């Protein structure tokens, strides 16, 4: 799949950021949003209700924000039905296809920090204590989840590119590439 299949807009207004858990989707979305003046809509905050329960209004909330003209968000929750909502409205997709050692290190660092500090995430939820997390299955253990889904985007990307030929896809294989791209990104209004 060529990285330049569709022309990349000079000033993107609706940006999806894809990548495995721990690749830095949310951090990049916040930074790009700040540079471009785009609202960052955090998908995890829309999905997770109190006590980690899925919010019934999740897909309605996704539909509502994608109708707007300007946003940046993480491409997540495909199994919950977000793909046909997000992809047709995006004018740019960024794919963080970083090496395993980078995404694993980032996820361990983030998970340990959140767990030890008891950082509130979304709607009162907090990362589980490390000892509790390590004994859980892949759906409830973020480290196991990353391992289970490590190649998900590589497997899906050819079909996504074929289904959305007008959606430019920028693939960054290392954080340095994302940094270079952001330095060249024009500021928003």
Instruction: Round to whole Å and give the CA distance between 152 and 63.
Output: 24
Give pLDDT tens digits for 136-150.
555 666 666 676 777
Give pLDDT tens digits for 42-79.
999 999 999 889 999 999 999 999 999 999 999 999 98
Tell me what pLDDT residue 1 has. Answer: 42
3-state secondary structure of 100: helix
Q: Rg for the chain (alpha carbons), in Å?
A: 16
Q: How far is CA 169 from the centre of its chain?
A: 14
Checking DSSP bridges between strand 14-19 and strand 71-74, what pairing results, if any? parallel
CA distances from 29 to 12, 17, 129, 131 (A): 13, 7, 27, 30
Residue ranges and CATH numbers for the domains of the chain are: 14-184 (3.40.50.300)
Predicted model pTM: 0.84
Give pLDDT tens digits for 88-98.
999 999 999 99
């Amino acid at each position: 799949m060529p990285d330049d299949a569709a022309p990349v807009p000079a000033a993107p207004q609706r940006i999806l950021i894809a990548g495995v858990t721990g690749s830095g989707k949310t951090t990049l979305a916040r930074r790009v949003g700040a540079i471009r003046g785009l609202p960052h809509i955090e998908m995890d905050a829309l999905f997770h209700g109190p006590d980690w329960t899925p919010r019934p209004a999740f897909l309605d909330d996704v539909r509502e924000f994608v109708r707007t003209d300007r946003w940046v968000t993480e491409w997540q929750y495909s199994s919950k039905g977000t793909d046909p909502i997000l992809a047709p409205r995006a004018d740019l997709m960024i794919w963080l296809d970083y090496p395993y050692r980078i995404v694993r290190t980032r996820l361990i660092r983030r998970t340990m920090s959140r767990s030890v500090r008891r950082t509130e995430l979304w709607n009162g939820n907090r990362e589980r204590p490390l000892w509790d997390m390590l004994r859980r299955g892949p759906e409830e253990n973020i480290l196991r989840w990353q391992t289970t889904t490590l190649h998900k985007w590589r497997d899906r990307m050819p079909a996504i590119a074929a289904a959305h030929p007008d959606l430019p896809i920028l693939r960054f294989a290392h954080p340095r590439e994302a940094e270079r791209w952001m330095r060249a990104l024009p500021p928003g209004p």
